[in-house]
Homo-oligomer: A and B are copies of this chain.
Amino acid sequence: MKLYDSRLAPNPRRVRIFMAEKGMTCDTEQLDIVKGENLTDDFLNINPRGILPTLVLDDGTVLDESVAICRYLEEIQPEPKLMGHDPASKAYVEARQRHMEFDGLLPASEAFRNSFPGFAERGLAGTRDTVAAIPDLVGRGTASLARFYEALDAHLGEAPFVAGDEYTIADITALCVVDFASTAARVPVPDSCENLKRWHAEVSARPSAGA
């Protein structure tokens, strides 16, 4: 299998960390999203949706959603389990993972994408159509991130990890969200979120965080 990757974007990092936690490696090619290398004819022939990460399996199956790629990796190499153990924990980890996406990654992406000059006419990922940035999404995304940090901090006051007692894919998504929001979207974690800062230091210290 082959992974199309980008060091600049938060979603490919999710897959890199997931693989590192599993101790897996694969053939990888870097694409520069800011230069639009994901929107060339060559890449759109591989993935018409034009987004990264994209994993191409040996049978030709194209997986271009981070969580779907992680699902495949979890299935072919179940240990260490990063997506739950039994019906209830699998569902709960999935719910928490999605909270990190919808409540955190989405507003962080909106806040970044609609303020970054290079994306002024690329308001949505994966299309060659001109899509104007919507400046109002920056303020809305920033306010959503404040709510996200507050809710995650409260959760991490009651549990060591994002989905309870074990490190899971929900922690991976959350780490990528916090780092992306803090740097690219310029919305850092407030000092008052002590539980969140404790967790962030711990998961950032794992070797996988550098993947």
Contacts and interface: CB of A to CB of B under 8 A. Distances in A.
Copies in the complex: 2
B91 A68 contact: yes
Interface of A: 48-49, 57, 59, 61, 63-65, 67-69, 71-72, 75-76, 86-88, 90-92, 94-95, 98-99, 103, 123-124, 127, 129, 131-132, 134, 136-137, 140, 143-144, 147, 151
Chain A contact surface mostly: helix
B65 A88 contact: no
A122 to B, nearest CB: 12
A98 B124 CA distance: 16
Contacts of A123: 140
Contacts of A72: 87-88, 90-91
Contact of A137 (B69, B88, B129, B134): B134
B151 A129 contact: no
A95 B64 contact: yes
A166 to B, nearest CB: 15
Contacts of A144: 124
Contact of A67 (B94, B129, B151): B94
A52 to B, nearest CB: 13
